[in-house]
A and B are shown apart, each in its own frame.
Chain A
Amino acid sequence: QQQVKQSPQSLIVQKGGISIINCAYENTAFDYFPWYQQFPGKGPALLIAIRPDVSEKKEGRFTISFNKSAKQFSLHIMDSQPGDSATYFCAAPGGSSNTGKLIFGQGTTLQVKP
């Protein structure tokens, strides 16, 4: 079974700090790596995604860094805010492209302290 390994499982950051979450994936034939954000009692929502023809993608305070040779990618949250407190999931494509399946990491629970 293809796996995506995500770390850390939980993270506590002070307001204004940088939150960093890492993911490692196994071989995949397709290149699209999204991050999802989930608040308690809600479904996950797409936060940011990258295609590895670039090594970095930035959207506001959120940045994905990608290392294709190492099969790793990470999410950086700059100037972390209490409203960023949520669970974050990385994902990688699983299977062939006409299925659109995603394999998710185990999730990281982020708490940003005021």
Chain B
Amino acid sequence: NAGVTQTPKFRILKIGQSMTLQCTQDMNHNYMYWYRQDPGMGLKLIYYSVGAGITDKGEVPNGYNVSRSTTEDFPLRLELAAPSQTSVYFCASSYLGDRGGYTFGSGTRLTVV
């Protein structure tokens, strides 16, 4: 039981490039989330999904896109990377939704130069 797996762990992008951050969970959780973590700012919600085929915006969705074609996978797409997207990205999943029992992945550290 691997939990939530994120790839890659580290990535450097040039301004204007695009990439996809991968997230897979093997716990059959319906709820999945993408957060970004910046120093002193806590965790900000980018996008979330309550089940396959259903996604919605969080607090800071600009510059990102998501899809949820299966229960297991929830990739995050960055289009036209900007320095402001330099951050650590965490994917999380939850079975009980609002009870807050998130399982987080180990994160992807992204630098845009």
Chain A residues within CB distance 8 Å of chain B: 1, 4, 6, 9, 30, 32-34, 36, 41-46, 49, 89, 91, 93-94, 97-107
Contact = CB atoms under 8 A, between A and B. Distances in A.
Contacts of B106: 41-43
A109 to B, nearest CB: 9
Contacts of B112: none
B42 A46 contact: no
Given A45-B104, A100-B31, A104-B44, 18 more contacts: A1-B59, A6-B42, A42-B106, A43-B90, A43-B106, A43-B107, A44-B43, A44-B102, A93-B98, A93-B100, A99-B50, A100-B96, A100-B97, A100-B99, A101-B33, A102-B102, A103-B45, A104-B35
B43 A104 contact: yes
Interface in B42-88: 42-45, 48, 50, 56, 58-59
A32 B42 contact: no
Contact of A102 (B50, B100, B107): B100
Nearest to A93: B98
Contact of A89 (B42, B96, B107): B42
Contacts of A89: 42-43
B42 A107 contact: yes
Interface residues of B, number: 30
Contacts, number: 82
Contacts of A1: 59
B41 to A, nearest CB: 6
Contacts of B16: none
B98 A99 contact: yes
B36 to A, nearest CB: 11
B61 to A, nearest CB: 13
